[in-house]
Structure 1
Amino acid sequence: MVIVIVLLISGCVKEKDASRETKGESEQTSEQEKGTVATDTAQDEEEVDAEKATSELGDLEVKLSGEAIIEEDQIRIEGESNLLPGSSIYSGGVTDGGFASSTFIDTAEVQEDGSFSFEFSGISTSTTVKLNLYTNNQTEEHYGENLEKVTGPQVYVTDTHGEFEVKAEFYIDVDQSMPYTIPIEIPQWQEKPDDYGEPEVWMEAEVDSDHEYLYFHGETNLVEGTRVGGNLRKASGIIDAFSFGFTRINPDGTFELRVPYYKLQKGMYMPIRFEPKNNVWEDVLDTYGEHGEKLKGELVEKDGEDQYVELIVEIDAPDFDPPKDVGLTVEDEEVKIQMPDDLLFDFDESTLKADAKKTLDDVMKDLQKLDENTEIQINGHTDNVGDPDYNLNLSKERAEAVWAYLEKSGDVTGLDVQIEGFGDTKPIASNKEEDGQERNRRVEIVINPKIEPEIHEQRGPF
């Protein structure tokens, strides 16, 4: 009897184990099947996307996009499009100074899947890069001799009536830490103003800034391609040297204008002008007259026989008065007082020059205006010439020397102060040229420092 019971129990256990094994195998098979289905679904979706992209090749609503990979020694463009295979993309560039860049002159052929690519050497000057559809014998009939058959947000008028260009643009900032990637995106324009192109002109603009540029974001009823811009001016009306910029009106009447600056001062303003005498585009002159004689509205000014449009944009600056040769820049709530190293120190020294004390006395007057417990940083920086460790120590010693003088000579003890040396790790200009190295050798006093984002905002093109 005992033997029979043991056998029965043993048999039941074996049946349960077999059942568990069967269930486990079933669950494993089910998970494998699910994984296979998910993989097949993803592959199917990729194939559908690829088929859709291929079916759009040659569509007259042209699309140019992709990304630019910016490195110290090279720049790569990986492009996507719905252009006909065999189409040509022409590249070019214009530096911040307005000069054509030979680095970016090249042509790429669109591949069977609509892709294209470029590779260029590294650059030392910030540049706006433009990619244009270029008609050849194979594509001229399809897109039109003057691209007049093409539609979409990347079609722009040109200086010649009836001729168009298809383009994508992006801006390379050489002062930004490399490597980084810039998306090449298709613009999304808004509706044109109802009075677009009317002779009674209006214009409006808002301004913000970072530590290099003033950015003017504007709207107007001026026609596409109209050239606008000007020179930043001090409260006295005197032009602020090297602070100027020009741009053209977008297809929807908006414009983006970037103007470099070094020192913000109270009372500064930016006159944004449209002067027909300095415009040569046929559609612009036909609309407003060669001398602006057709222009009307409150913004219209006269200069002899010429009329022009001028919008005055006032610049909001901190209530500081930095001394000569000392920079003052603003980004959101963060203010930087930038002092070149040769203003404070002799070469390779961390002891303040006698003349430096007058500069720091003037800076201290601004610091004494700050509320108690205002956070500030005193940061030393160098170029990349020499041993990095030596430069790091030198930059720290110089920052400490500046704070030691300020603390001893004025009532700034209520501030929340941090002192740091960064050596050559935080340049504000390219170290490839002497001018950039000179800008990088500096001591900065940063008021209300903000946390640096991991990804820098790409602003532009302008």
Structure 2
Amino acid sequence: MAWNQMKRRRTHTRKWNENKGLWHILFIGSIVAALAMTVAGCGQGGDAGKAGNVPAASAMNEGNASSAALESNAAAHDEEGSNVNFEIETGGKSEDAPADQGDPNVWIKAIAKLENERVVISGTTNLLPGVKMKADLTAAGYNMWGYNDEADVGRDGTFKFDIKQPNIKEGMLDITISFVPEKQAGEMEAYGKDGSKLYGPYIHQYEESDQVYQKAVAFIHVNADPEKAGQEWETEIPGEKPEDYGSPAVWITPVISFDGTRYQIKATSNLHEGVEVKADVDIPDHWHIGYGESAKVMPDGSFSLQMKKPGKVDTFYIVLKVIPNEDMPKAAKEAYGTNGEKFDGELVKAEQSDQGSISVIQLKMKIKEEQ
């Protein structure tokens, strides 16, 4: 019995303590509510009856409070926000677009530079906003895959590519920027799905499955020398076709420069666009390999390539050749003949091949190094 009484007393005491804690909470809450009502009443002062009439001093205090709150939020954002430097890119404003945006006489202008082991290309075009462009990076003498990027044209006509810089420390990096209507998602009414409506000096032809397509292309040549990092290189300005463009009486006018390691060959000609020009060296009394290069002729008849300097010789020949074959564009085969039988002029040379005797175009240039 004594044990039961003690148990009842403990239970009673616990309930009293619980009730006592509850009453403390309610009492404190009522005091806080009363204080809040008092402060609210004092804030209205003698003008409580005039709705919307706030004294100037009160408005200033509210303004200061708002400013303080904004500064506090900003400080908190600085403490808890990003610690990475970043740049927001936008699609630009349509009012900043080129005046001829959407014209089938397409042009592409860009600048490339080397930054932090990246090749960054920024440019402007009059192509329609939203179309996809591609940039490919190659270098003569190297087999390269994966050095490319895609970009959409912004509303203001701008575009940007960012490509990893290859581990090449000499020679030139060749950048090809292209717009291919055939590869676009839509029908490309403005340009034709096959690009047939495109025209102008930036337009190139290509063939697939015996069908002729057109695309817009621009080129940039960047010096790969690390000491040239930070410099800028611009897109080449396409030239005009010569009057005798496509004539079987072929002529080639080369310009050769040397940078200490490689020969840069830039040439003009009346050759058909898309024809392949092969280049190699001929070293008298020497067997050699690994100097061969090739280039495709541009729409204006020009082409360019670079070649390594042969070692341990001071006199050799650079030989340029056009060898007719089934891979030539249709227009070239019609102009020159499948076996070059229509070629004419002083650059024509007869050769033996698997198909028998053929005619080729050959330009042989003697290079003599000064001692």
1:311 aligned onto 2:363: yes
Matches of 2:318 and 2:162, distance apart in 1: 38
**Cα gap change, 1:164 to 1:206, in 2 (>3 Å):** same
- Determine helix, strand or coil for the equivalent of 2:189: helix
Alignment partner of 1:204 out of 241, 244, 253: 253
In structure 2, do the counterparts of structure 1 residues 276 and 74 end up closer, same or farther at CA, with 3 Å as the change threshold? same
Q: Secondary structure at the match of 2:102?
A: coil
Decide whether the 8 Å contact of 1:232 with 1:239 is kept in 2.
Answer: no
Equivalent position to 1:87, from 98, 106, 131: 131
Aligned residues: 268
CA contact (8 A) 1:87 1:134 kept: no
In the TM superposition, what are the counterparts of 1:50-65 in structure 2 within 5 Å?
53-65=97-109
Q: How does 1:57-456 map to 2 (within 5 A)?
A: 57-97=101-141, 99-104=143-148, 106-125=149-168, 127-135=173-181, 136-138=184-186, 140-159=188-207, 162-190=212-240, 192-236=241-285, 238=286, 240-263=288-311, 265-277=313-325, 279-304=327-352, 305-319=357-371
Q: Quick check: 67-76 or 304-313, which moved more?
A: 67-76
Does the C-alpha gap of structure 1 residues 134 and 217 become closer, same or farther in structure 2, counting only changes over 3 Å?
A: closer
Alpha-carbon separation, structure 2, partners of 1:266 and 1:247: 26
Distance 1:194 1:55 in 2: 31
Give the direction of change, closer, same or farther, for the CA distance of 1:265–1:90 in structure 2 (3 Å limit): same
What is the CA RMSD across the aligned residues, in angstroms?
A: 2.6
Distance 2:98 2:239 in 1: 26
For residues 266 and 121 of structure 1, what CA distance do their matches in structure 2 show?
Answer: 37
Contiguous gaps of at least 5 residues in structure 2: 1-93
Q: Which amino acid is the alignment partner of residue 260 of structure 1?
A: K
Structure 1 residues 54, 71: closer, same or farther in 2, change over 3 A?
Answer: closer
Deviation at residue 179 of structure 1 after TM alignment: 2.4
What secondary structure sits across from 1:271 in the alignment?
strand
Letter matched to residue 269 of structure 2: T
Change (3 A) 1:159 1:211: farther
Cα distance change of structure 1 residues 154 and 203 upon mapping to structure 2, 3 Å threshold: same
Query: CA separation of 1:72/1:241 partners in 2, compared to 1, >3 Å: closer, same or farther?
Result: farther
Distance in 2 (alpha carbons) for counterparts of 1:264 and 1:146: 50
Residue 253 of structure 1 deviates from its aligned partner by 2.2
Distance 1:242 1:182 in 2: 31
**What are the Cα deviations for residues 14-57 of structure 1, in whole angstroms up to 9, with x where unaligned?**
xxxxxxxxxxxxxxxxxxxxxxxxxxxxxxxxxxxx95744321
Relative to structure 1, the CA distance from residue 243 to residue 250 in structure 2 (aligned partners, 3 Å threshold; closer, same or farther) is: same
Deviations 1:114-170, CA, capped at 9 Å, x for gaps: 111122223213532211113324461111112121222211122456311211122
| Structure 2 CA distance for partners of 1:52 and 1:77, relative to 1, 3 Å | closer
Query: Residues 116 and 139 from structure 1, CA distance in 2 versus in 1: closer, same or farther, beyond 3 angstroms?
Result: farther
Counterpart residue identity of residue 316, structure 1: K
Q: 2:14 corresponds to which residue? A: none
Contact preservation (8 Å) 1:168, 1:184: no
Gapped regions of structure 1 (runs ≥ 5): 1-49, 320-462
Cα distance in 1 for residues equivalent to 2:217 and 2:178: 4
Does the 8 A contact of 2:202 with 2:238 survive in 1?
A: no
| TM-score between the two structures when normalised by the length of structure 1 | 0.53
Tell me if structure 2 keeps the 8 A contact 1:235–1:266: no
Once residues 287 and 173 of structure 2 are traced to their aligned partners in structure 1, the CA distance between those partners, rounded to angstroms, is: 24
- Counterpart Cα distance in 2 of 1:145 and 1:155: 14
Aligned-partner SS, 1:287 = helix
Cα distance, 1:178 vs. partner?
A: 4.9
Give the letter aligned to residue 108 of structure 1.
A
Corresponding letter in the other structure for 2:234: I
Q: Distance in 2 between matches of 1:285 and 1:188?
A: 24
Distance (whole Å) between structure 1 residues aligned to residue 326 and residue 312 of structure 2: 28
Report the alpha carbon displacement of residue 71 of structure 1 after superposing the two structures with TM: 2.5
